[in-house]
């Protein structure tokens, strides 16, 4: 089976990782290359534009907890996750976003339901508008952890019996 290249918008919260886990659960036989992307407007400042390629300040918003949980997810789902990377997209137009998707060879974009994106700074933007307008295939997943109850878990669960009074 061909590995799919997927873009998952992120604010580097654990909800983003839950969305990836739910995506993998929804498509258990599919392998993925996942690009986690945080969306940012391009600054109007010439100085900031000149320094754009040297930026590292955005990466300080990625917590150690996020890194640890991402590592756990990669280990647990190594059969499905060929590669997971994260980066920043700088732009606010559909044309620039489509160019980004084509350059990354992205086949589908994930739309995360039940999640409000946190802004990392004043230039962060909500990705949903660009996702809706880009006309790429969209996979909807939830950011809410879906409990998985297996038959084995139901069988192993202790039965509660009412005690009779003597």
Tokens standing for residue 3: 């590995």
At residue 48, the pLDDT reads 62
| Residue 1 or 110, more confident | 110
Alpha helices in 77-127 (DSSP H): 94-103
101 Cα distance to chain centroid: 15
User: Which domains are seen in the chain, by residue range?
Assistant: 4-156 (3.40.50)
- pLDDT of the residue at 162: 44
Binned at pLDDT 50, 70 and 90, residue 55 comes out as low
CA–CA separation, 73 and 17 (whole Å): 8
Distance CA 76, CA 124 (A): 31
* Residue 147: band (very low, low, confident or very high) from pLDDT cuts 50, 70, 90: low
């Amino acid at each position: 089976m061909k590995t799919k290249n997927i873009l998952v918008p992120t604010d580097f919260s654990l909800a983003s990782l839950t969305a990836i886990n739910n995506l993998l659960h929804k498509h258990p036989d599919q392998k993925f290359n996942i690009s986690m992307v945080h969306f940012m407007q391009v600054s109007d400042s010439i100085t900031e534009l000149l320094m754009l390629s040297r930026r590292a300040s955005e990466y300080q918003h990625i917590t150690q907890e996020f890194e640890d949980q991402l590592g756990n997810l990669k280990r647990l789902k190594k059969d499905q996750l060929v590669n997971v990377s994260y980066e920043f997209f700088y732009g606010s137009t559909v044309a620039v976003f489509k160019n980004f998707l084509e350059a990354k060879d992205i086949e589908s974009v994930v739309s995360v339901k039940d999640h409000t994106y946190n802004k990392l700074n004043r230039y962060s933007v909500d990705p949903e508008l660009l996702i809706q307008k880009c006309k790429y295939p969209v996979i909807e997943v939830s950011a809410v952890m879906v409990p998985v109850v297996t038959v084995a878990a139901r069988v192993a669960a202790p039965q509660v019996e009412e005690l009779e009074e003597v």
